[in-house]
Amino acid sequence: MKRHGKKWKASRAKVDKTKEYSLPEAIDFLKANKAAKFDETLEVAVNLGIDPKKSDQNVRGAVVLPNGLGKTVRILAFAQGAKAEEAKTAGADFVGAEDMAEKINGGWLDFDACIATPDMMKVVGKLGKILGTRGLMPNPKVGTVTMDIGKAIKELKRGKVEFRAEKGGIVHAPLGKLSFEAAKLGENVKAFLEALAKAKPSSAKGQFLKKVVLTSTMGQGVKLAPMVEAKA
């Protein structure tokens, strides 16, 4: 954004591109050089040592960040009967079945996460083209298709982050607000990288977390020194 041009250029000049920053150094730098007036989000980008073209090297998972994301997550739950009541009690913002599917088909998408009980996937499956392209499709691999719908909703409300390797073998994820205490941001980063390391496919050889870069919504990218590595 042009209005942040001077701050952005100034912070860029301060980044040592040849250096690998320790986690505290990286967080302190980003907090001290924020470029926007709003509360920016701390983000991570990780280059993985995988061949994303190979189906047995798909990387996907989820982790509950110890200090959350610092934002309100609006949850849609597809459930009926007792499970619908469980979803409401757990804090789901919207609960329903075919009625919700009709709303989505009509263009309604005012939610940030979608959860479903297994029996509802016959309804949700028909929404694949709409939900899938927006990263909202429930999936059992990340715990969003489950009978324990109450637990799943509570985890999302607390700050559960899903991750998935993109075509280039890169994973992006938000890790909290820049206004968080540095120590809390550090805990979130460590928890995410540890979860990502555990998701290393058995067929992937060599270094898994090849490059880790921390940045903020409008800030610079800062390369992290190696902290966590998956077992070969």
Q: What is the pLDDT of residues 85-107, one digit of tens each?
A: 999 999 999 999 999 999 999 99
pLDDT at residue 17, as a whole number: 73
Predicted confidence at residue 2, as pLDDT, reads 42
Average pLDDT, the chain: 89
How many whole angstroms separate alpha carbon 216 and alpha carbon 214? 7
How many domains is the chain partitioned into structurally? Answer: 2
Q: Is residue 207 part of a domain?
A: yes
Tokens at residue 19, please? 């250096």
At which of 104, 136, 158 does a domain end? 158
Q: Is residue 184 included in any domain, yes or no?
A: yes
Tell me, yes or no, whether 229 lies in a domain: no
* Residue 219: per-residue pLDDT: 84
pLDDT > 70? residue 12:
no
CATH number at residue 48: 3.30.190.20
Based on the fold, state whether residues 151 and 81 are members of the same structural domain: yes
Do the domain assignments include residue 206? yes
Closest by CA to 158, choosing from 191, 125, 131, 128, is 191
The whole-angstrom separation of Cα 92 and Cα 151 is 11
Q: How confident is the model at residue 191 (pLDDT cuts 50, 70, 90)?
A: very high
Which pTM does this prediction carry? Answer: 0.78
Range of the domain at 139: 75-158
Q: What is the pLDDT of residues 130-189, one digit of tens each?
A: 999 888 999 998 899 999 999 999 999 988 998 989 888 999 999 999 999 999 999 999
Within a domain: 116: yes
